[in-house]
């Protein structure tokens, strides 16, 4: 029997309860007197706390729910349409990030990819110019977030956008499909060497490894046996157990950490 090892755990973000307990929100707001706060700030806090309490090694705040904050940060948008030269008003995002950093230290941040926001052009009249400008705005937004204390970004994407991948993918920016197809993963691997896949897509990842360089595999919610199979193809240092969930509490993250703590290394 092989020896037991521990695999790195990390979060890819999570989605908060759309109807949080009012008493808990009020209690949190009391800690924010004189500083300013809103429901988005509470959601960032409430989704990060269970990860930290469960000792997830690389926690990540944010998720798709952060779309509303991004849309109010990009100037020039009306009814999801760009109607003027876009810019950024970073005050709310700065407060969000600095609050989390003050309470938990530097961290990763998950949010929708630009192509997932659904912003339309009502100003440029040219798809190439519109796309190029918006990508530069998004890159600047992420850069300023890193200046405030964000370690890196998880960009949650629904459908591939080759231009966005080419411009934004990098060491501090990872694109992530929650329910990837083989074609989705192939598009990612043209631009990044780390991919996250659910346990039931492990066989797809193994077949892609024959064609692409996959330096790190993030296995989401693996079931017993998945990690042992993955360890037959990747070194332990190249493998992570990852999580992303909707309305998940400490129990979800505890289970994730426990499942990564006693993995049998194949002989």
Residue 130 lies in a domain: no
Interacting residues of 144 by C-beta distance below 8 A, sequence separation 6+: 88, 90, 93, 94
Taking the CA atoms of 152, 154, 186 and 260 in sequence, report the sign of the dihedral they define. Answer: positive
Residue 83 lies in a domain: no
Mean pLDDT of the chain: 93
Q: Which of the residue ranges 1-5, 67-71, 75-79 would you say has the lowest mean pLDDT?
A: 1-5
Structural domains of the chain, count? 1
Residue 94 lies in a domain: no
Residue 127 lies in a domain: no
Q: What is the pLDDT of residues 118-147, one digit of tens each?
A: 999 999 999 999 999 999 999 999 999 999
Of 114, 88, 109, 110, nearest to 98 (Cα)? 109
Instruction: Please give the residue range of the domain that contains residue 198.
Output: 4-63+101-109+151-264
pLDDT of residue 247: 85
3-state secondary structure of 164: helix
Check residues 3 and 169 and name the one with the higher pLDDT. Answer: 169
Res. 230 pLDDT band, cuts 50 70 90: very high
Residue 24 lies in a domain: yes
pLDDT of residue 248: 84
Of 254, 263, 265, nearest to 54 (Cα)? 254
pLDDT of residue 267: 67
Dist CA 186 CA 184 (whole Å): 5
Of 134, 127, 119, nearest to 87 (Cα)? 134
Residue 248 lies in a domain: yes
Is 34's pLDDT higher than 80? no
Residue 145 lies in a domain: no
Dist CA 136 CA 133 (whole Å): 5
3-state secondary structure of 110: strand
CATH number for the domain including 192?
3.20.20
Residue 172 lies in a domain: yes
């Amino acid at each position: 029997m092989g020896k037991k090892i521990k695999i790195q755990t990390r979060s890819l973000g999570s989605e908060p309860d759309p109807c949080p307990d009012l008493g808990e929100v009020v209690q949190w707001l009391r800690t924010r007197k004189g500083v300013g706060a809103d429901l988005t700030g509470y959601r960032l806090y409430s989704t990060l706390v269970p990860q930290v309490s469960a000792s997830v090694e690389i926690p990540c705040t944010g998720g798709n729910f952060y779309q509303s904050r991004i849309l109010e940060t990009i100037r020039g948008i009306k009814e999801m349409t760009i109607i003027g030269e876009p810019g950024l008003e970073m005050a709310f995002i700065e407060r969000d990030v600095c609050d989390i950093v003050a309470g938990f230290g530097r961290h990763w941040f998950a949010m929708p990819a630009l192509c997932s926001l659904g912003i339309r052009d009502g100003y440029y009249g040219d798809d190439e110019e519109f796309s190029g400008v918006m990508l530069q705005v998004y890159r600047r937004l992420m850069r300023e977030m890193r200046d405030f204390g964000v370690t890196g970004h998880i960009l949650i994407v629904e459908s591939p956008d080759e231009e966005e991948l080419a411009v934004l993918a990098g060491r501090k920016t990872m694109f992530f499909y929650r329910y990837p197809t083989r074609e989705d993963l192939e598009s990612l691997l043209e631009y990044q060497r780390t991919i996250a896949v659910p346990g039931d897509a492990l066989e797809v990842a193994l077949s892609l490894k024959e064609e692409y360089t996959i330096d790190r595999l993030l296995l989401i919610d693996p079931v017993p046996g998945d990690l042992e199979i993955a360890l037959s193809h990747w070194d332990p240092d190249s493998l992570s157990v990852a999580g992303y969930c909707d309305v998940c509490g400490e129990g979800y993250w505890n289970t994730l950490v426990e499942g990564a703590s006693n993995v049998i290394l194949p002989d």
